[in-house]
Amino acid sequence: MLRRSAERFPSKPAILWQDRSVSYRELDLAANRFANSVIGLGIAKGSKIGILCRNRLEYGEIFFGAARSGGVLVNISVLYAPEELAYVLDRADVEVLVFEDAFAQRIAEIRAGLPKIREFVVIGAGTPGAIRYEDLVSQASDMPPAVEISEDDPFSMTYTGGTTGRPKGVLASHRNRAITAHTVMVHENIDERDVVGIVTPLFHVAALNIMFQPAILAGATCTFLTKWNVRDFAAMAKRSGMTACFMVPTQASQVVSDPEFDVADYPRWRKLAFAGAPMPDWVQRALIEKMPELKLTQTYGQSEVGVITVLDHWHLPARLGSIGRQAYNVDLAILDPEGNPVKAGEVGELVSRGANVMLEYYNEPEQTARFFKHGWGWTGDLAVMDADGFVTLVDRSKDMIISGGENIYPKEIENVIYVHPAVCECAVFGIPDDRWGEVPAAYVLLHAGAALSEEELVSHCDAHLARFKRPRLVKFVDSFPKTPIGKIQKNLLREPYWAEREKKI
């Protein structure tokens, strides 16, 4: 992808970051230098190269350079605490770790417990016991490395957000991620004229494979934001002439709620893709109202399967609530637990198969076996499909509440709560109950300055839901724990209630 775009657009900016710019030709040569550098450090085909780094120019060089070396790039969350970081580095069998100097202290804390890592490379200020990135690549050849690579070879590993238990390494091949890049380029209409904002973390599949990679494939220019701040985003969008970006719903909400919002800060912004968590209808309506030329595209996917459904902008607002239809280049279905297709309008699990689906959960054979069943990869999301092929998520299969023998889908309750004008965000989950087994609890974040009582919220739910679905506990909160891609970590909210139950037993 990079080589071809460099041949087509050698002098065009590939990445803009702060006051730096790198052309496609320069990025192509830098990727070769990194590839040859790590080969010189002993990286063999299939060996793991870890990267712990925020969004910055070097990430783009390392991403394509690692691919050309035949190694597997392990993209590591910068949010991990030392214990989580040590777990992932060990579990992934990382041999060379590249880290930004901002994380030098965190690495120093765990270094003694990482015997598999042979070389440490630091981006930025020199760090004892680490090779400076600039020194490493400056001596390397910029010729393409002589490594035979198949499209089915392992290429990249990203870690799931850890909403349930320990994070799992999603191992993908070159072809897996190429399929997704093509899917996104087509559906989000990215072309060489675009300036694409990368405003979610590159260590996550959404920014790395579902925005950066398609942009390079198209020959677009990417502009990187290192740390999210709505004012910094506005400044970057204006300075770079940003035309397109991917956001999580929380970011979009902050844009439309920005007290200093000025449409003049976004003179060329015309394309917004979003996913990761439900986008409240009020946010979508506010975006359309404030920026009528902005086209919204909702994608649904996972690290394991890439993008598999798309709701194109021309279906809004009529199809609000749906995640769209089967995407170009992929297969999907909605199946019952035995692997049989369900009828239109019936609940089943959303599944996908084909070259877009990952190779495996690395070093997790039991988890991998649970994911691949009946020839499909199972997403864990319950959904319904209508007669026209539009898919609507019902809930995570693990989040379903069974109360008194009745199935309750938290998302249904959340959708009702979101209708209330005072509500900004909410999360519904099951808590133990001696009589019913479990009952719904609702954690709610209100808009700034809004007021709402528990009684008023329950009354609102009673007007729209069967009585057994109403929340039995309502708690108003100031914030939610979230994954890097904006999903509320319900397991962290739910666990204390069930832990207390275990103590009583």
Please, how many CA atoms are within 13 Å of residue 458, restricted to the half-sphere of its CB?
A: 13
What does the domain layout of the chain look like in residue ranges? 20-172, 195-396, 400-504
The rounded distance, in Å, linking the Cα atoms of 433 and 468 is 13
CATH among 3.10.20.740, 3.40.50.12780, 3.30.1120.10, 3.30.310.50 for 20-172: 3.40.50.12780
Q: Tell me, yes or no, if the pTM score tops 0.75.
A: yes
| Vertex 155 angle, CA 154 and 158, to 5° | 105
The rounded distance, in Å, linking the Cα atoms of 22 and 33 is 15
Q: Which two structure tokens, joined as six digits, stand for 215?
A: 């942009």
20-172 and 195-396: identical CATH topology: yes
**Neighbour tally for 137: CB within 10 Å:** 24
The rounded distance, in Å, linking the Cα atoms of 443 and 492 is 12
Residue 481 phi, psi dihedral angles, 5° rounding: -70, 135
The rounded distance, in Å, linking the Cα atoms of 390 and 236 is 35
Please check whether residue 63 is in contact with residue 208, taking contact to mean a CB–CB distance below 8 angstroms.
yes
Judge: domain 195-396, CATH 3.40.950.10.
no
Look up the CATH architecture of domain 400-504: 2-Layer Sandwich (3.30)
- For 40, 222, 239, 295, the CA distances from 243, given in Å and listed in that order, are 40, 10, 11, 11
Tell me the H-state helices in 241-305. Answer: 249-257, 281-290
List per-residue pLDDT tens for the chain, 505 residues long: 999 999 999 999 999 999 999 999 999 999 999 999 999 999 999 999 999 999 999 999 999 999 999 999 999 989 888 888 999 999 999 999 999 999 999 999 999 999 999 999 999 988 899 999 999 999 999 999 999 999 999 999 998 854 445 789 999 999 999 999 999 999 999 999 999 999 999 998 889 988 999 999 999 999 999 999 999 999 999 999 999 999 988 889 889 999 999 999 999 999 999 885 667 777 888 998 999 999 999 999 989 999 999 999 899 888 888 899 999 999 999 999 999 999 999 999 999 999 999 999 999 999 999 999 999 999 988 899 999 999 998 877 678 787 876 778 788 899 889 989 999 999 999 998 877 878 999 999 999 999 999 999 999 998 888 788 899 999 999 999 887 767 788 888 988 988 866 555 4
Cα–Cα nearest to 384, from 331, 316, 323, 300: 323
